Amino acid sequence: MSDLLDQPEPGQNAPEFSVSEISGAVKRMIEGEFSHVRIRGEIGRVNRYASGHIYYDLKDEGAVLNAVTWKGQASKLSVQPEEGMEVIAVGKLTSFPKQSKYQMNVMELRVAGAGALMAMLEKRKKALAAEGLFDQANKKPIPYLPEVIGVITSPSGAVIRDILHRLRDRFPRKVLIWPVAVQGARCAPEVTRAIDGFNVMTAGGAIPRPDLIIVARGGGSIEDLWGFNEEAVVRAAAASDIPLISAVGHETDTTLIDYASDIRAPTPTAAAELAVPVRSELAVWLAGMEERRLRALSNGIVQRQQRLRDLSRALPNPADVLALKSQHLDMFSNRLPRALHAMTQGKRVQLVERTAALRPQSLQQAILQKRALLSHISSGLAAASKRQVERWRDQLNGLERLRQTLGYEATLERGYAVVRTDAGAVLATAKAAKAETVLDIQFKDGFVKTGTAQTSKKPVSKPRQKPKATDQGDLF
């Protein structure tokens, strides 16, 4: 801090610093003294920001240390920080002047011992199981004979050779290999991408979509197999639409992907055995099934033949049935001529009876009967016509009387008159009558013309007289 010392003012023993100066001095001192430290502690609260930075606490019984891992450093961590995890953090101490606090920039994070690692594994297992990722109801059946098998493993290890060798011995199938790192920081993201990549393939595409996925790795320590315990890998395995076999480690090794997969194989070789049947055994089984089929077919034919013979014994002899029908035919053939002769005689008798009804005397009698009936109908029709004409005449006379009653001639009888022009047009107003030089006035007993003082006795129309009835009826 000697670079910050100034000459004290007279009468003062301590120099003066600005806030920024003292904060910078503290920052340089902390980073200089603690540029590389390893700290053991338990992770407290963890905050992941959208920027990619991770903020968390390192604590023990007596103190809490703020820690931060920047975005570029977070992707390189072998273990992601989780609350409650006991870790060894490697990094440097620095300060944050704006809030007057110091913190640790963590660049490497390791679990503190196998016991802590197993505790964290058990905690993660319970959390994922509570979400239902390990439920048996979600397990998919393994196809009996897949056409294409996708294998996610290291392309350079003995695991892929063991799988290919076992598949070749049992039942050769098409194999797609997706190379991944099977341990270290790259393991979890690469395995996750491989599982998702196989699932997004389309059936019938340039690269065939696998019918089955095998995730395989050889044995190792819990630290070596830790990538298959990461949450991203477990979720990808549980969400896979393609049936998945996990074959990670030896039979005694158990990782979280084993619980999320559809079936767990104790070894990679066992995974290949679960994936396909033995072709020779399948051929033997098919031959046995073919033999059983032929034997069942032969036995069925024999049984049906025996059944047919049993049923045929219950049926009558066809010759006897035919002989009985032949006898019936002979009997009907013998009766047919007599029946035809009898029917002909009956029809002849009916014909004679019909022709007797058509003789001339019978026709004359029928004509007279019809003529008498026609005369009776004609006389009745004439009387009905006469009565109808009388009714129509009475109606016409009544209408004529009604017309005379409602006509203007009846009005003239009561003292009224009709004024017309010389041309015969009726005048209804005094103004129209003044405009005329000659007026023709009709009274009940005649006409009077003004200007000539002549009276014309035009007879008033009389009602028509009824025509005298005649003996002959009139339809009108």
Sorting pLDDT into bands at 50, 70 and 90, what band is 135?
very high
Which of the residue ranges 18-32, 300-314, 405-419 would you say has the lowest mean pLDDT? 405-419
Same domain, 56 and 164: no
Condensed to tens digits (0 to 9), the pLDDT of residues 90-117 reads 999 998 888 888 899 999 888 776 666 7
B/e letters for 387-426, b = 16+ CB within 10 Å, e = fewer, are eeeeeeeeeeeeeeeeeeeeeeeeebeeeeeebbbeeeee
Is residue 372 included in any domain, yes or no? no
Same domain, 260 and 296: no
Does the structure show a pLDDT above 90 at 152? yes
Is residue 403 included in any domain, yes or no? no
Is residue 319 included in any domain, yes or no? no
Is residue 365 included in any domain, yes or no? no
SS3 label, residue 7: coil
| Alpha carbon distance 177, 207 (integer Å) | 12
Same domain, 106 and 163: no
Is residue 320 included in any domain, yes or no? no
| Alpha carbon distance 146, 173 (integer Å) | 8
Same domain, 169 and 68: no
SS3 label, residue 335: helix
Q: What percent of the chain has pLDDT over 90?
A: 37
Same domain, 252 and 304: no
Instruction: Give the CATH number of the domain where residue 253 resides.
Output: 3.40.50.261
pLDDT of residue 462: 46
| Alpha carbon distance 440, 114 (integer Å) | 147
Does the structure show a pLDDT above 50 at 361? yes
Sorting pLDDT into bands at 50, 70 and 90, what band is 176?
very high
Can you tell me the mean pLDDT for 259-286? Answer: 92
Same domain, 273 and 168: yes
Is residue 353 included in any domain, yes or no? no
Q: Are 37 and 92 in contact (CB under 8 A)?
A: yes
Element (H, E) at 445: none
Instruction: Give the CATH number of the domain where residue 25 resides.
Output: 2.40.50.140
SS3 label, residue 105: strand
| Alpha carbon distance 37, 431 (integer Å) | 139
Condensed to tens digits (0 to 9), the pLDDT of residues 216-264 reads 998 887 778 888 999 999 999 999 999 999 999 888 888 999 999 999 9
If you write DSSP's letter for every residue of 19-48 in order, what string do you get? HHHHHHHHHHHHHHH-SSEEEEEEEEEEEE
Same domain, 201 and 223: yes
Torsion angles phi and psi, residue 341, rounded to 5? -65, -40
What's the total number of domains in the chain?
A: 4
- Write down the number of H helices and E strands in the chain: 13, 14
Same domain, 196 and 150: yes
Same domain, 81 and 31: yes
Please name the residues in contact with 276: beta carbons below 8 A apart, sequence gap of 6 or more. Answer: 145, 146, 149, 167, 170, 171, 173
Does the structure show a pLDDT above 60 at 467? no
B/e letters for 203-227, b = 16+ CB within 10 Å, e = fewer, are eeeeeebbbbbbbbbbeeebebbbb
pLDDT of residue 128: 92
Element (H, E) at 125: helix 114-130
Condensed to tens digits (0 to 9), the pLDDT of residues 184-204 reads 888 999 999 999 999 999 888
Does the structure show a pLDDT above 90 at 473? no
Please name the residues in contact with 70: beta carbons below 8 A apart, sequence gap of 6 or more. Answer: 52, 53, 105
SS3 label, residue 216: strand
Same domain, 208 and 304: no
**Alpha-carbon separation of residue 170 from 176, 215, 247, 436 (angstroms):** 17, 19, 18, 138
Interaxial angle between packed helices 158-170 and 268-275, expressed in degrees from 0 to 180 and rounded to the nearest 10 = 30
Is residue 316 included in any domain, yes or no? no
Handedness of CA 24, 30, 32, 38 (dihedral sign): negative
Sorting pLDDT into bands at 50, 70 and 90, what band is 359?
low
85: containing domain: 2-7+17-112
Same domain, 205 and 306: no
Length of the chain in terms of residues written? 476
Same domain, 75 and 193: no
Tokens 């029809």 sit on residue: 347
Mean of pLDDT over the chain: 84
Q: Interior CA angle at 470 toward 468 and 471, to 5°? A: 155
SS3 label, residue 380: helix
Beta carbons within 10 angstroms of residue 240's beta carbon: 19
